[in-house]
Amino acid sequence: MITLALTVNPVFNTPINAEICEGGSYDFFGQTLTTAGTYTHTLQSVHGCDSIITLTLTVNPVFNTPLTAEICDGGSYNFFGQTLTTAGTYTHTLQSVHGCDSVITLTLVVNPVYNTPLNVSICNGNSYDFFGQTLTCGHVHPHDTVCPRL
């Protein structure tokens, strides 16, 4: 009589979840992964049975947010605690909820301030409306035909 003692060794299935940021990579048993998906790798257990590792890779986005702002010459713009006074492109990097970069790019425009002198003459007894302010001649000699410049 022959008695057989049969041992059934287990096959191991190991799930792994991993996350990377967009533009990043994940090394999976020598394979460089850059896209989201499900990947498997088979090893042999100590008993010669398959040991399957299943990786679920998530690629989290990197956010790039463009902003445009305008200030007047001589003014300033507060950009995350930095006081900006000159035109240009500025960046600030934050971390998203998944730990990936969130880059804010500001294009700052500095508009000129114009100082335009006006030379106005009015006749005696007349007035000049200067943006809602009425200007009149002061003391004018009766022989003058032109009021002094305002």
The predicted pLDDT at position 81 comes to 96
Asked if 124 contacts 140 with a C-beta cutoff of 8 angstroms, the reply is yes
Does residue 38 register a pLDDT over 80?
Answer: yes
Measured CA to CA, the distance from residue 57 to residue 92 in angstroms comes to 28
Residue 65: name the closest of 97, 92, 98 by CA.
Answer: 92
φ/ψ (deg, to 5) at 110: -110, 115
The predicted pLDDT at position 2 comes to 86
Measured CA to CA, the distance from residue 30 to residue 118 in angstroms comes to 76
pLDDT tens-digit profile of 108-121?
A: 999 999 888 888 77
Residue corresponding to tokens 């009149």: 136
Note the residue count of the chain. 150
Does residue 149 register a pLDDT over 70?
Answer: no
Does residue 126 register a pLDDT over 90?
Answer: no
The predicted pLDDT at position 141 comes to 52
Measured CA to CA, the distance from residue 18 to residue 16 in angstroms comes to 7
pLDDT tens-digit profile of 50-61?
A: 889 999 999 999
Residue corresponding to tokens 């398959």: 50
Range of lowest pLDDT (10-14, 38-42, 86-90, 141-145): 141-145
The predicted pLDDT at position 147 comes to 55
Beta bridge partners, 123, equal none
The predicted pLDDT at position 142 comes to 53
Beta bridge partners, 71, equal 110
